[in-house]
Structure 1
Amino acid sequence: MWGYCEANGIGAKTVTLKVKYADFNQITRSKTVPAFLAAITDLENIVSLLLAPIFPPRKGIRLLGVSLSSLERRSVRTEPQLRLAL
């Protein structure tokens, strides 16, 4: 997921963690940051923060999922956009 976003110039501001338990209950936790994630270590740190309150788990986990949202294509333009005087 991170590799795809990085390769395609896509930035994310929200990280979501989904935990599905063996008894089919599930929880979702997310964190939104003010600026786009700059490195995979930023993603890892946020996921660790989201996981901390639920570990060690009291019941079996059957699935852990991480997703990114608040996506935006990062521009590589170095020149400012010109304005048209109308």
Structure 2
Amino acid sequence: MRRPRDLADRRRRGAPGQRLAAALLDELTARHPLTTVETTITPGNAASLALFAAYAARHRADVEQTVFFDDGLFPGDWRPPEVLPT
């Protein structure tokens, strides 16, 4: 099992934040084998889209995207839909 310091060291070697998030996802997968990962991401959130695309590539998984929460569900000002990559 990796110690938190190991994860912090990995973060310093990569892009700020992205390496830590990737390390956490990989560690979660190592501890608890997953068959599916689901999250919602707004289409403009390039960092999160890249994070999960890279995670899928590292784990040889396909990524499918569907609109999960469309803009009609959010009151008030227009908000982009939440996309569900699975």
TM-score w.r.t. the length of structure 2 is: 0.30
Which has the higher relative contact order, 1 or 2, with Cα contacts under 8 A spaced 6 or more apart?
Answer: 1
- Larger C-alpha radius of gyration, 1 or 2? 1
Bigger strand fraction: 1
TM-score w.r.t. the length of structure 1 is: 0.30
Bigger helix fraction: 2
